[in-house]
């Protein structure tokens, strides 16, 4: 069965640096992949979606890459700020009729001033 | 728009009782999703609807779980009878065009505790 792994449970970096989060999956590539942000006690908030035929997507300080050969997506936050501290989830969607959306367990990102 | 609305925000019940969670999606959204989040299993998709019709319920864990969407502005997730292992945060989400097209908007969640 499809498995998804986010590189680390927690990541601590200095304000102003680039945060890079990793999402790896096994088996077959999803039709698309999403990244979400979740703050404590709140629901996930959608950030970016990237399709299997896309290599890279950007939105302001955020960038997502998708490498179907490596079976990996990288999520970058440039010029990180303490307000970026949250848990980040990646989600795979195989987008077939009997499929499910599979979420990673998340990476807790802390940006220290 | 107020966003996705869920009620109650917290529910504490005893094992064996029936639990009903409620969701009001964003007006005009055609897709509605129910998720469950636990520390052990993370975020799991339980079921989703398109235009009030259940499309995929393969994530529903057992027959004790059922979901309905009687109209475009209301959905329920029912657990009967509830068990302690059902304790989790249950999220409802909605989207305009569905999976792979645009984003899902999540509600604040219902924290369910089954004693």
Helix (H, G, I), strand (E, B) or coil at B98: coil
CB burial of residue B76 (10 Å; 0-12, 13-18, 19+): middle
CA–CA separation, B49 and A19 (whole Å): 36
pLDDT at B96 over 80: yes
Tokens describing residue A70? 């490596």
pLDDT tens track for B30-82: 999 999 999 888 999 999 999 999 988 988 988 999 999 999 999 999 999 99
CB nearest to A95's CB, from B58, B99, B103: B99
Nearest chain A CA: its distance from B2 CA (Å): 14
Cα–Cα dist A27/A23, whole Å: 14
* Subunit contact A44:B91, Cβ cutoff 8 A: yes
Q: List, for residues A46-99, the tens digit of each pLDDT value.
A: 999 998 889 899 999 999 999 988 999 999 999 999 999 999 999 988 765 445
Q: Nearest 5°: phi and psi at B48?
A: -140, 155
Residue A89 is nearest to which of B4, B43, B102, comparing CB atoms?
B43
A87: helix, strand or coil: strand
Tell whether A98 lies on the interface with B, counting CB pairs under 8 A: yes
Give the best residue of A3, A32, A43, A64 to mutate against chain B (max B CB count within 10 A): A43
Mean per-residue pLDDT for A3-31? 88
């Amino acid at each position: 069965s499809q498995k998804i792994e986010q590189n680390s449970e927690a990541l601590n970096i200095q304000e102003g640096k680039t945060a890079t989060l990793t999402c790896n999956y096994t088996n077959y590539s999803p039709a698309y992949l999403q990244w979400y942000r979740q703050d404590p006690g709140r629901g996930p908030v959608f950030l970016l979606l990237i399709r299997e035929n896309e290599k890279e997507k950007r939105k302001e300080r955020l960038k997502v890459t998708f490498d179907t050969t490596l079976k990996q997506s990288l999520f970058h936050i440039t010029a990180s700020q303490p307000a970026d501290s949250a848990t980040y989830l990646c989600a795979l969607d195989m987008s077939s009729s009997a499929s499910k959306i599979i979420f990673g367990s998340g990476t807790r990102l802390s940006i220290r001033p | 728009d107020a966003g996705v609305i869920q009620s109650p925000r917290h529910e504490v019940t005893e094992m064996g009782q029936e639990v009903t969670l409620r969701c009001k999606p964003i007006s005009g959204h055609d897709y509605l999703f129910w998720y469950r989040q636990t520390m052990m299993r993370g975020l799991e998709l339980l079921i989703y609807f398109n235009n009030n019709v259940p499309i995929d319920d393969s994530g529903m864990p057992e027959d004790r779980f059922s979901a309905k969407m009687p109209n475009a502005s209301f959905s329920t997730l029912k657990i009967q009878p509830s068990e302690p292992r059902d304790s989790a945060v249950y999220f409802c989400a909605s989207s305009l065009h569905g999976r792979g097209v645009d984003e899902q908007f999540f509600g604040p969640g219902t924290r369910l505790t089954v004693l």
